[in-house]
Structure 1
Amino acid sequence: MVTFRTKKLMVTVFAAVSLLFVANGATAELQAAEVKQPAGSKSHKLPATLETTQWGWLDPNEPPKLTVDSGDIVSIETMMHSHNKIQPGTTMEEIVALRKANPGGGPHSVTGPIYVNGAEPGDVVEIRILRITPKAFGFNFNLPGKEFPTIGALAAEFPEGFVRYFNLDWKNRQAEFKPGITIDLKPFPGILAVGIDPNDPAPRKGGAKDAMAPVSTLRPWKNGSNMDLNELQEGSTIFIPVFLKGALIWVGDAHCQQGNGEVNLTGLECAFREFVMQPIVRKD
């Protein structure tokens, strides 16, 4: 059973032997506050580069890009989709080509993995989301329905596809949809994952039978991954079971706004200048 809890929402779904728990705190107050450094902990930064990110796959054999202790503060940068290849002005034809360039994998760029000292299979990692700051633009697109008829609920309405880019006004936490209509920005990571469960039935890259082969970022699994859970905003906490030594944490698929799901395939996709978290290994 998987249970998500916040002050506004509790959703219970059934899954195989897994526990994910989200608690949403006083978000508005935390947004205005500075992140306080706990006594005895360290601060780390992990920039998003081609060496620290992967496109579309969670590979448990990927060497850790950062090693931290339980309770440390970690500031993570993320990229736009497809290793930053989607930028304002990228056409729908180019987006489709990028989609096809990584068969089976997701479009998402994920930063990591981050190794947490002391995390062992059977533990739980508590991840406190302390601060989120997005970069300057976002986008929303619907793939061409004539070519991708089963992706998104609006495929028939957009046979040629559609993409729109947005400037993000973080000072006022808004984006202009059109004159007189604004969208409130409420950023969260679409993907927050730990290393895969070797016993998870998720398909492996290229149909590999190796339990430690990469798993696509397209779907959520027991390790979190592409949950697209819009409650994972600044001030929330999530508890994820640990399946591999060091936990191995990835962050990506940044969203600046989304409803309860991605009806047309995407939310207001963006990238994070900083995603500040505190991972805590729980053995209780």
Structure 2
Amino acid sequence: MPEVLFHIDLSKPMEEQDVPGHNRWHPDIPAAVSVKAGSEFRIECKDWTDGQIQNNDDPTDIRDVDLTRVHVLSGPVHIEGAEPGDLLVVDILDIGALPGAEWGYNGIFARENGGGFLVDYFPEAGKSIWDFHGIYTTSRHVPGVRFPGLIHPGLIGVAPSHELLDAWNARERELVKSNPGRIPPLANLPEPRSAVLGSLRGAQFDRVAAEAARTVPPRENGGNCDIKNLSKGSRIYFPVFVPGAKLSVGDIHFSQGDGEITFCGAIEMSGWIDLHVDVIKGGMAKYGITDNPVFRPGPVEPRFSEYLVFEGISVEETTGTQHYLDANVAYRRACLNAIAYLQVLGYTAEQGYMILGTAPVEGRISGIVDVPNACCTLAIPTAIFDRDVLPHA
């Protein structure tokens, strides 16, 4: 087993860990540990909410979750020799659940507290608990479904430079100004409340907390990309923006459907991840990887041979309004069509929504050129069900 560089005590919040992590992005958050290029090591991670969700049947904790706490990340890890302009190469060697925490949860977030992709249809909070049986998972809240997990970090990234951080905050502030009263908001701006900033204290803590970017969206540094195929065996090439790169990781998922549509849309868990790091000097210019990370998927993933595929087009489902090549509308329609079908099978709409968020469903932009309709598809592997779910004459 690789050396554990970042330990987690599940009974303590992140700021009370022996070495605290962080829940904001800022270049001045100090590194928690330092490694040489070529090193292999293990990082332990809390679930993204810092332990706010309990293994029970009550969705109140989902309804009331404090989203100013998220995402709690383990790190930053300083990689010796990494400099701005380099590429940080990160190999995900292995990943799993922490002993004694072999369960996870999925949540539908209330409109007033985060919402989700289908918040207009599911404005109330909901929760399902998923138990792990080796590589498989089942839920007492979604009966008749069993599938193997593709465990992955929902969030992994490097620190931004001061210039990049300023650009993030400026563009997201302008977006919020366009509709400041929207619920949920168009973006989550810097919020000092509940900030965890590693070992920073005093006046420096206050300054960084007021400037630091929230971890909610993916950005140029990687971050909360929620890519289910970024699992064991994957290799990621991160642009480096600050000395040492300052790599952080968290938000581990046991399984997820493409899009993570319920917002708390995967099977969220606490876990560990084994990493190998290396540096390509001058790699950003050499390979043109300057704006966002690039990754190579690993060889390990569930293999399904049969799917039921639902289509959606960019026509508003309630008004019939035509949208021009709008993949957001088209994917929403595909999801709603799939949920309607799952209801025919006997699931509630909420259970159907959770299946799409947790099971390894495949989402695709299938057509984006045939004006005026974008076409998106959502493919559900039929083998996850304990019965035949296909239509028959």
The TM-score normalised by the length of structure 1 is 0.74
1:192 to 156, 161, 167: 156
Q: Which has the higher contact order (CA 8 A, sep 6+)?
A: 1
Matched residue, 2:83 = 120
Distance 1:85 1:195 in 2: 26
- How far is 1:158 from its partner? 2.6
- How far is 1:65 from its partner? 1.4
1:48 and 2:8 correspond: yes
1:205 to 187, 190, 199: 190
Per-residue CA deviations over 1:18-53 (Å, capped at 9, x if unaligned) read xxxxxxxxxxxxxxxxx7x8xxxxx44311252345
Distance 1:162 1:81 in 2: 17
Distance 1:267 1:143 in 2: 9
Matched residue, 1:141 = 107
Q: 1:272 to 1:235 in 2, by over 3 A?
A: farther
- How far is 1:168 from its partner? 1.2
- How far is 1:179 from its partner? 4.1
- How far is 1:108 from its partner? 1.9
Alignment partner of 2:155: what SS? strand
Matched residue, 2:387 = none
The answer on whether the counterparts of 2:62 and 2:108 sit within 8 Å (CA) in structure 1 is no
Matched residue, 2:56 = 89
Q: 1:114 to 1:217 in 2, by over 3 A?
A: same
Matched residue, 2:28 = 61
Listed as ranges, the gaps of 5+ residues in structure 2 are: 170-188, 193-205, 284-393
Distance 1:210 1:67 in 2: 21
Q: 1:181 to 1:129 in 2, by over 3 A?
A: same
Identity of aligned residues (%): 26
Higher percent of residues as strand? 1
Distance 1:141 1:133 in 2: 21
Listed as ranges, the gaps of 5+ residues in structure 1 are: 1-34, 38-42
Matches within 5 A, 1:1-284: 43-49=3-9, 50=14, 51=17, 52-54=19-21, 56-89=23-56, 91-99=58-66, 102=68, 107-135=70-98, 136-145=102-111, 147-148=112-113, 151-169=115-133, 171=134, 173-177=135-139, 178-200=142-164, 201-203=167-169, 205-206=190-191, 213-283=211-281, 284=283
Task: Tell me the C-alpha RMSD between the 2 structures.
Answer: 2.7
The answer on whether the counterparts of 1:56 and 1:218 sit within 8 Å (CA) in structure 2 is no
Matched residue, 1:23 = none
Higher percent of residues as helix? 2
The answer on whether the counterparts of 2:57 and 2:128 sit within 8 Å (CA) in structure 1 is no
Corresponding pairs, count: 236
Alignment partner of 1:94: what SS? helix
Q: 1:263 to 1:246 in 2, by over 3 A?
A: same
Distance 1:61 1:87 in 2: 33
The answer on whether the counterparts of 2:62 and 2:126 sit within 8 Å (CA) in structure 1 is no
